[in-house]
Structure 1
Amino acid sequence: MTKIKICGLKRPEDIRAVNEAQPDFAGFVIEVLKSRRNVSVEQVRELAKGLSEQIQAVGVFVNAPLDLVAGLLNDGTLALAQLHGSEDEAYIRQLRQMIDKPLLQAFSIRTEADIERALQSSADYLLLDQGGGGTGQCFDWSLVPELARPFFLAGGLGASNLSEAISQVKPWAVDLSSSLETDGVKDPIKIQAAVKMVRTLEIGF
């Protein structure tokens, strides 16, 4: 069964929308000032409190201080941390000594070599993206071989290609953000439709 993550939540209205739709994961871009979806530590703590118990909160970090990531995992605000910068294996090793929660590492995929690089990661989950984050563009899915380990597929996924992406790439989870926005904010109708589409595919129509 393919899981679904709705990323880039930043308003109480977004929390209400995902609680209604019930995706598996809700993503928050934390202390990434260049992102228009950025939220502060205080904001994510407040927003995550409102999530339905069935939805796991994921913190998206870009080269963040270890204490910041570990603090939000250890205090129960987040269930997973997504490393979306240039974090290396030394960073992951240090972080693992501070936490007991899963790690998700993102990789920009442009060539087969990028896939090989991703597979060297010791993170619990991989996230395969087109690079750049939140641009709404897909990468060449044919680069992704059949993988034995769980991975998230991201980049340019929306209503028009979600079914094709799941059937072709067979990800453990899909990650959507920009395609679920209208005028720059999350659209409850689009969120509901995306989650429903993934759940429908799970039962083979």
Structure 2
Amino acid sequence: MTKIKLCGLRRLEDVAMVNQVKPDYAGFVFAPGKRQVTEALAESLRRQLDPAIAAVGVFVKAPVEEAAGLANRGIIQLIQLHGDEEEAYVKALRGRTKAPIIRVIRVRGPESLQDLDRYDCDYFLLDTFSGSQFGGLGKTFDHSLLRQVRFPKPFFLAGGLDPDNVAAAIAESSPYGVDTSSGIETAGIKDEKKIRAFVSAVRKEEQS
């Protein structure tokens, strides 16, 4: 079964909508940007989130102590590194928490997917490259690049996925999981109809 990650939750209303469809993962963004949440808000959201849904903290070159502390307090269950963090950073993080690590690879071409064994992580997340920002672009990359790649760890597919294209993306690349944020929003706000449609599209693809 393809795992589902719905990212960028920042309101109690978002959590209520997500609880209804029960994805496998929900993402809280701690990196600067329009979806950023504070530690206090994330703690409040986690309390309302269905305990069966794992919370993922999204970070861009945050202090190691911040990411590890949020995990060790149970506010998040996984740590997603979105800022091309160096291996020394990951080693320091491993020394402070047992939370699984998702390493983001920003794909711009075949060269982005080489030598994946060098990364210390539990999962990869493949997103669309941009020179101006880390993630949240709402743009897809060429999924055909994945056909010849041997992934040493399970990977989430991200980057511009929405209810209309996610089934085809799964069929083409067979990811461990899919991730979306802007694809389930209208005017920057989580949209219940789009959330339900996205989850339904993934689950229908699994049944076909």
TM over 0.5: yes
**What CA distance in whole angstroms lies between the structure 1 residues aligned with 2:150 and 2:173?**
8
Aligned ranges 1:139-154 → 2 under 5 Å: 139-144=141-146, 145-154=149-158
1:70 to 68, 71, 87: 68
Instruction: Give 1:115's aligned residue.
Output: 113
Q: Distance in 2 between matches of 1:51 and 1:84?
A: 23
In structure 2, the residue matched to 1:188 is 192
Number of the residue aligned with 1:90: 88
Structure with the bigger RCO (C-alpha within 8 Å, sep 6+) is 1
Given that 1:128 and 1:153 are in contact with CA atoms closer than 8 Å, whether structure 2 keeps it comes out as yes
Q: Deviations over 1:10-32 (max 9, x none)?
A: 000000000001111000101x2
The one-letter code matched in structure 2 to 1:39 is: V
Identity %: 45
Match of 1:134 in 2: 136
Q: SS of the counterpart of 2:20?
A: helix
Corresponding letter in the other structure for 1:43: L
The 8 Å contact of residues 118 and 126 in structure 1, kept in 2 or not, is answered as: no
Gaps of 5+ in 1: none
Q: What's the offset of the Cα at 1:201?
A: 1.7
SS in 2 for 1:39: coil
Task: Say whether the 8 Å CA contact 2:116–2:152 is kept in structure 1.
Answer: no
Unaligned runs of 5+ in 2: none
* Residue pair 2:84, 2:104 contacting (<8 A) in 1 also: no
State whether residues 59 and 81 of structure 2, in contact with CA within 8 Å, keep that contact through their aligned partners in structure 1. yes
Structure 2 CA distance, aligned partners of 1:39 and 1:128?
Answer: 23
From the superposition, tell whether residues 196 and 118 of structure 1 become closer, same or farther in structure 2 (CA, over 3 Å).
same
Q: Take 1:119 and 1:17, find their aligned partners in 2: how far apart are those partners?
A: 37
Structure 2 partner of 1:3 = 3
Task: Tell me by how many angstroms 1:142 deviates.
Answer: 1.2
Task: Determine which of 102, 105, 115 is the counterpart of 2:103.
Answer: 105
Computed over aligned residues only, the root mean square deviation of the Cα atoms, in angstroms, reads 1.2
- Which of 69, 73, 77 lines up with 1:79 in the alignment? 77
Count of residue pairs the alignment pairs up = 202
SS of match in other structure, 2:18: helix
